[in-house]
Structure 1
Amino acid sequence: MAYLTVTDGVKQFTGFRALNGVSISVERGEFFTLLGPSGCGKTTLLRAIAGFNDLTSGSIMLDGQDLRAIPPHKRDIGMVFQDYAVFPHLSVFDNVAFGLKPRKVPAEQIKTRVAEALSAVHLQALAERLPAAMSGGQQQRIGLARAMVINPRLLLMDEPLSNLDAKLRIELREEIRDIQKRVDIATIYVTHDQEEALAISDRICVMSAGHIEQIGTPQEIYGNPQTLFVANFVGTLNTLADGEGRAKLLAELGISANAAHWTIRPERLSLLEAGQGAPSGAVALAGTISKFTYLGREAHVLVDTPAGALVVQVSNPALGAVRTPGEAVSVLVERSALMAFDADSKRLSLEG
């Protein structure tokens, strides 16, 4: 049996259903991420687990206990918020110790546990400092230490890095993942950042409009999306334009055009010189470059083709590898790289 389960979770607000029959399961020690755009229901689900907003219907079980029957302050859940939620008038030590005092933890044990928590987040040297004199990243570390110090049964994190700059977000997300592995606490993490979710999760639950689109490992979510929404939301996606150009391409690849949507990832395409042939199982699609965008470790080349405008991702572009708008090229399209979706945006198999 899973450590945490939410079964048929529904949350109805006046005139609006935020959760529509959501079911998830989280294992002990798992880092489980709720990913989706604003308004998809991910924070509503997290708050229901924490007890801040009860479900309208459905069940939430944690280690065999019915969480909906337990008041929020007795659920033994650690929570890390987007806005740090530190107490400015308390020292770092007292901020972290705050949750231990109502639990009547002995003073000596408080010292030991706070020291361990601060060490885990690399703040042991700043225990007596006030948060106002600290950076956003350091304040978020305080929030993480405070959530962990109570030895929670479950750790919940609601967009904890969204207020930080890009470089610090990357550094801190790695630290959060390392700490979570070390302390082995089941964690549910909310984010709208797909790169962040891919980088730190054991499994990802992609949500939209109050329901679940797909649950899987980062590799499954990105590499084998089961709906068009997931394919579009996680990563970038080319969609082949409907028309003669697409039909000809599919025919040359030996595919019958029985899908509503045909898509391909930019990194699965390659640029060839104009007129260059394609290997077996692929087609060289003639085109003209309309835009070149250099991004350092990669470049995106937009090519106008008979099957529509396609973005081709070029890895590690050489310093002088600039492509000029109007330049004639070919785009290598491999049969195995195409993803097909039906009229209901469900993934179709191309086998056979």
Structure 2
Amino acid sequence: MSYLTVSNATKRFGTSFTALDGVSLAVERGEFFTLLGPSGCGKTTLLRSIAGFNDLTSGDITLDGANLRIVPPHQRDIGMVFQDYAVFPHLSVFDNVAFGLKPRKVPAAEIKTRVTQALEAVRLGAMAERLPAAMSGGQQQRIGLARAMVINPRLLLMDEPLSNLDAKLRIELREEIRDIQKQVDIATIYVTHDQEEALAISDRICVMNAGRIEQVGTPPEIYGNPQTRFVAEFVGTLNTFTQGAALEALLQQMGIKVMSVAAWTARPERLGLASRDEQLSGAATLDGTIAKFIYLGREAHVQVETAAGMIVVQIANPGMTRTREPGEPVKVAVPREALMAFGADNARIEW
């Protein structure tokens, strides 16, 4: 049996809105499990239901084999980290972290030991006597993480903890959070709407949409083998070829019989770019004209106008001098294995 199990979870608010619609998932011991999806998809509602802040309308939640729904929130031994830091400005870093231990009647000597260990784990050991107001946003978020861990929780829940930080600090702190989680080996459920963040730190990702689960898998499975069109479009960039004669000709080059497919798609990095007179092998081609060249340093995105629609090609390591000018005639190379097909029900079609 999995460590945490959610079975057929449904949550309705009033009579008109269903936030969770029959959600079922399982999280293993020590796993870093991420709930990923757009605003309003149900990920925070699910997290709050596990914490006990929202009770389900129906369904089951078990932790280590025990029914969690009958346990009051303050008795669930769950640590929670919020996006707004939730630190007490008038208390020192040490007292902020120790706050959750005092109601549990932990002896003073043990409080000192556990708080010291928690602060060392989040690299704040030298700042125990400081006040949070004198600290950066990243340091304040580490205080929240230490406070969640110091109670020795059975489960750690994190609700978009990095959303209020700048981009560089988010990257640094997400790596630290992952390292700390591995070190303490606590099963963790992490909520985010940031696809790159989810791919970078997760053992597995659960993509949610409109209160339902679209797909659960490892980061390579979610990105490289999306099972629904929503997952393919939400996680990463996706080209969708316009239906018509140009697409049919492209498929014929590959020897693919035209099927009843709602959308043929491809990731930008799976495509290639060549001049019109260049000979290519191993890929079908689509003639086009450069519409825009976007230089991003380690990569470039080239927008190409074709008879099958606007296609984006991602070029790795574009260098300092090589650019593509608008109006330049080119051809887009489309390897057969780059194509992904989706049906009218948005499910992946194997072909």
Given the two structures, how large is their TM-score scaled by the length of structure 2? 0.99
Q: Which aligned segments of 4 or more residues in structure 1 are displaced greater than 6 angstroms?
A: none
Aligned residues of 1:77 and 1:153 also touching (Cα < 8 A) = yes
User: Given the alignment of the two structures, is residue 278 of structure 1 paired with residue 280 of structure 2, yes or no?
Assistant: yes
Separation in 1 of the partners of 2:268 and 2:294? 13
Offset of residue 143 of structure 1: 0.1
Aligned ranges for residues 108-119 of structure 1 at < 5 Å?
Answer: 108-119=109-120
Aligned residues of 1:206 and 1:230 also touching (Cα < 8 A) = yes
Aligned identity (percent) is 74
Aligned residues of 1:249 and 1:307 also touching (Cα < 8 A) = no
- 1:86 aligns with 87
- 1:227 aligns with 228
- 2:72 aligns with 71
Aligned residues of 1:275 and 1:286 also touching (Cα < 8 A) = no
Offset of residue 73 of structure 1: 0.1
- 1:260 aligns with 262
Q: What is the SS of the residue equivalent to 1:245?
A: helix
Separation in 2 of the partners of 1:171 and 1:339? 34
Offset of residue 257 of structure 1: 2.1
The residue type equivalent to 2:31 in the other structure is: E
Q: What is the SS of the residue equivalent to 1:102?
A: helix
Offset of residue 284 of structure 1: 2.2
Offset of residue 285 of structure 1: 1.6
Aligned residues of 1:237 and 1:264 also touching (Cα < 8 A) = yes
Given the two structures, how large is their TM-score scaled by the length of structure 1? 0.98
Query: Tell me, which stretches of 5 or more residues in structure 2 are unaligned?
Result: none
User: Given the alignment of the two structures, is residue 95 of structure 1 paired with residue 96 of structure 2, yes or no?
Assistant: yes
CA RMSD of aligned residues (A): 0.6
The residue type equivalent to 1:32 in the other structure is: F
Aligned residues of 2:288 and 2:329 also touching (Cα < 8 A) = yes
Q: Could you report, residue by residue, the CA deviation over 1:234-269 in whole angstroms, capped at 9, with x for unpaired residues?
A: 000000011111111111111122111000000001
- 2:127 aligns with 126
Query: Which of these residues, 258, 269, 272, is aligned with residue 271 of structure 2?
Result: 269
Offset of residue 283 of structure 1: 1.0
Aligned residues of 1:276 and 1:284 also touching (Cα < 8 A) = no
- 1:240 aligns with 241
Separation in 1 of the partners of 2:323 and 2:179? 39
Separation in 2 of the partners of 1:288 and 1:296? 23
The residue type equivalent to 1:162 in the other structure is: S
Aligned ranges for residues 156-167 of structure 1 at < 5 Å?
Answer: 156-167=157-168
User: Given the alignment of the two structures, is residue 10 of structure 1 paired with residue 10 of structure 2, yes or no?
Assistant: yes
The residue type equivalent to 2:13 in the other structure is: F
Q: Could you report, residue by residue, the CA deviation over 1:194-242 in whole angstroms, capped at 9, with x for unpaired residues?
A: 0000000000000000000000000000000000000000000000011
Aligned ranges for residues 168-187 of structure 1 at < 5 Å?
Answer: 168-187=169-188
